[in-house]
Structure 1
């Protein structure tokens, strides 16, 4: 029997996930039954495009649709109630990163999932990028020797906080929205939690536009092995930049170094209708023709979403639980690490000093 799947949130990124899950539905992998959102207009668009039932109250969807799994794509600071209610309803959960912008809320969600024996999967899609997977294997295989230092940048166009998420950008920051991707990735690659951080931040551009959030935050983490990694997060890059996001990672060890330019994948397009060139990342997301399902999205951002469905399918088919399931995926406990890292970064910015990190 196919798993029954719902989604909470039909906004900008929610629409990406909905498209991915509709592809899985057409392939016959799942039964995509419903979407919940507080916007009747958003639900009307989903119904027109996909013919999927809509609910203005996610609790009603949980009660009526007998879901096996739900994907939660609400603003970061609104995850807790949706996750805990799903867990208490016995529904396996995918939630977008970060798990929460509050450590206490993150811990409560993790507890609810464990108490109800349901999966809590956090969508950290950077782990699914082949470039990052190759880097992790090189580190595990000691190809780089002992890691000494590294550098990351993760930057968005200014349209993200000023247009896409203007209504809640003040509840977030470039660290919560962007940096957390690479906080998790560094923890995953090095397989150790940082023990110390020093961070600085700037409030200039967005403040001038009436948005109370950091423009950029610079954080330097130290790990138990002695390795240090500097991570710059920003969301004020001019809108004329060639893609929505700019991102790179570089690690240097005693026997080697490796870089992954996640933004410049070598595909450039220039269209007469636009006033800037486009640097395209087809590995992240691309529409392809499927012999059974027609046009469906693929790429590592989509693979992260679909992997959750495969895990839930396996648990239902083989009568497994999250404890007995033998699989590597971004768990709630793992996501708590990056939530703590983000919190300590903000605290370091505010206090202007190096802080110890405990877990």
Structure 2
């Protein structure tokens, strides 16, 4: 089988996972990496022995590339995605597809015109717990879902230390869209209306102008209602960088998922740690877990012309919800989801 020649754009906090995934995938060849930061590309060239660039268009004009994997920060996806599309390349982009519906529609229109495909890495769909919940909901004996609750929060350090661009994002875009996409995946239908409330001030006082926390109520086409909570102000002493749980009340059964505790605990003289053993693990140098599987699926789908697990429409719908959540929290009113006709 011919290998898929992949280039990665963005080799920072999460981009290294892309480099490792394509390096180990037997059906992929990592041929180039682009990042605006020359210190990063110098390190990548040293560690991965691969061609590096600091300009996306220069890389795409110079190299023989089949597909592009975009792992730039959340607010800066549009430019490299459009560059790849305009060069006729299929694309995988980290969630969210975009941080505005206007940008999402621009990407959709460009991909349609160029006849290329774009996959969005909402990797929670590959989480074994999520797959088990989806299968349970598809079992007719479970009955229709009536209401749901989902929470995904991050510790302070995510906004204050990890993400230099946190002021250009929010807990809604960083973890909330994971929730919105995963719930759509569970419900197999779309959101019609959003009502949200939030709090600002704590992170602003620490120099990051964004929401501390937002709680959103989502109404779906099937009549099920969901409450979704997202925050960036968990104490840094929390056992993991993120916290998450899900509860779904159905006609005949209840489903509960504790994503924070995965059955493994570490203790030292300072605190308890609960690692997410299912996300990304190093197995004798080889990366594995549901943070890696979407990248492997991308390669498989391109080489074998299979549909993506999370496509452009999924990326758009998650952004439409996020946009409505921000608007509702700002104007203190319910917001109906408006889609382009």
The question of whether the paired residues in 1 share the 8 Å contact of 2:149 and 2:228 is answered with yes
Aligned to 1:162: 160
Structure-2 separation of matches of 1:271 and 1:43:
36
Which of 59, 64, 67 matches 1:66?
64
Which of 28, 31, 34 matches 1:30?
28
Asked if 1:236 corresponds to 2:233, the answer is yes
User: C-alpha deviations, 1:43-98, integer Å up to 9, x for none?
Assistant: 11112221122101111111111210111111222111211111111111000101
Structure 2 gap ranges (5+): none
How many pairs are equivalent?
A: 338
- 1:144 shift after superposition: 2.5
Structure-2 separation of matches of 1:95 and 1:304:
11
User: C-alpha deviations, 1:316-355, integer Å up to 9, x for none?
Assistant: xxxxxxxxx4x35111112100100000000000110112
Asked if 1:313 corresponds to 2:303, the answer is yes
Structure-1 separation of matches of 2:203 and 2:42:
33
- 1:154 shift after superposition: 0.3
Q: Which runs of 4+ in 1 moved over 4 A?
A: none
- 1:310 shift after superposition: 1.1
- 1:142 shift after superposition: 2.6
Asked if 1:19 corresponds to 2:20, the answer is yes
The question of whether the paired residues in 2 share the 8 Å contact of 1:95 and 1:123 is answered with yes
Aligned to 2:319: 339
Which of 176, 179, 184 matches 2:181?
184
- 1:150 shift after superposition: 0.7
Structure 1 gap ranges (5+): 290-294, 316-324
User: C-alpha deviations, 1:115-167, integer Å up to 9, x for none?
Assistant: 1111100000010011111111111223331211110010111111111113x
The question of whether the paired residues in 2 share the 8 Å contact of 1:76 and 1:100 is answered with yes
Aligned to 1:245: 242
The question of whether the paired residues in 1 share the 8 Å contact of 2:84 and 2:91 is answered with yes
Aligned to 1:140: 138
Aligned to 1:320: none
Structure-1 separation of matches of 2:196 and 2:224:
16
- 1:271 shift after superposition: 3.6
The question of whether the paired residues in 2 share the 8 Å contact of 1:139 and 1:189 is answered with yes
Asked if 1:304 corresponds to 2:299, the answer is no
Asked if 1:219 corresponds to 2:216, the answer is yes
TM-score normalised by structure 1 residue count = 0.92
Structure-2 separation of matches of 1:53 and 1:218:
44
User: C-alpha deviations, 1:153-183, integer Å up to 9, x for none?
Assistant: 10111111111113x1111000011110010
- 1:23 shift after superposition: 1.6
Output the aligned Cα RMSD.
1.2
Aligned to 1:358: 338
The question of whether the paired residues in 2 share the 8 Å contact of 1:144 and 1:252 is answered with no
Aligned to 2:10: 9
Aligned to 1:349: 329
